[in-house]
Amino acid sequence: MPFESDHRIYYLGTSGWSHRDWVGKLYPLDMPFSDYLETYARHFPAVEIEHTFYDIPAPQAVRAWYRRSPDGFQFCPCLPRRITHELRLRDTDRDLTDFISAITGLQEKLGPILLQLPENFRVNEQPQLAAFLDTLPQDMQFAIEFRHGSWLKDSTYGLLNAHRLAWVVVDAPFLPRTPRVTADAAYVRWHGHPGIGQRTRHETDPAASLRPWVAVLRDLARQAERVYGFVRNSYSGYAPRDGTVLMELLGEAREKGH
């Protein structure tokens, strides 16, 4: 079930669930790999599927994900990089059809599908992006992450609004934090910053760095029906830790009436 605060719905989690660094933290040392997803889903209501960025999953794998997750759980698969990075959104009909066919096995547990654009995909390619968006199934949700500042303009937001595509709010070095709602769902990704060493994160207070995001999430929730958010700092179990802290902070804000 989603995390709820003040009657607003949040699907928070991490990017992926099978990181080996999480063994001994989120997962017991002797736990079989096949039990990871079921254990993960006891802590979080949603997950971003990184695997699909690299390869289209086999139908039997998708059915297993569905079977091993509880009712109300949400999967947000990444669109394959062949479509976004290799083909750069051109001549994608066959690959897109194959991908959609595979992930429909998630049924009602399918959340927004994430399009991650390359860093060198700039606003001068907006006509190609618009043509690609016209090919997307209308009965599915999509979110898009831009990685170049040239997209920070009203014409971009208008394009996403017209296609009901969620703008991805990022905590990352490649774009400033830009909270926008362009669809029924809002979408946030916490990438982390190179200035904060992955291997020294345990020395910092995660609540201190994440607390400013509570107001952002609540503001997004006032404008959207649902808010999805995923932490990507997978090293040494920090992603599940930070995801848990976010939900705790949202819960505290609810109790204080903020």
Single-letter amino acid, residue 54 = Y
Q: Which residues pair with 15 in a beta bridge?
A: 48
15, 6, 69, 61: which is closest to 42 by C-alpha? Answer: 69
* Pairing status of strand 8-15 against strand 3-5: antiparallel
What is the per-residue pLDDT across 112-164, written as a single tens digit (0 to 9) for each? 999 999 999 999 999 999 999 999 999 999 999 999 999 999 999 999 999 99
What is the per-residue pLDDT across 167-176, written as a single tens digit (0 to 9) for each? 999 998 889 9
What is the per-residue pLDDT across 94-119, written as a single tens digit (0 to 9) for each? 999 999 999 999 999 999 999 999 99
| pTM (2 d.p.) | 0.92
Mean per-residue pLDDT, 200-207: 63
pLDDT of residue 149: 95
What domains are defined for the chain? 3-256 (3.20.20.410)
* Pairing status of strand 113-116 against strand 46-49: unpaired
For residues 206, 207, 212, 213, the Cα torsion angle rounded to the nearest 10 degrees is 70
3-class secondary structure, 103? helix
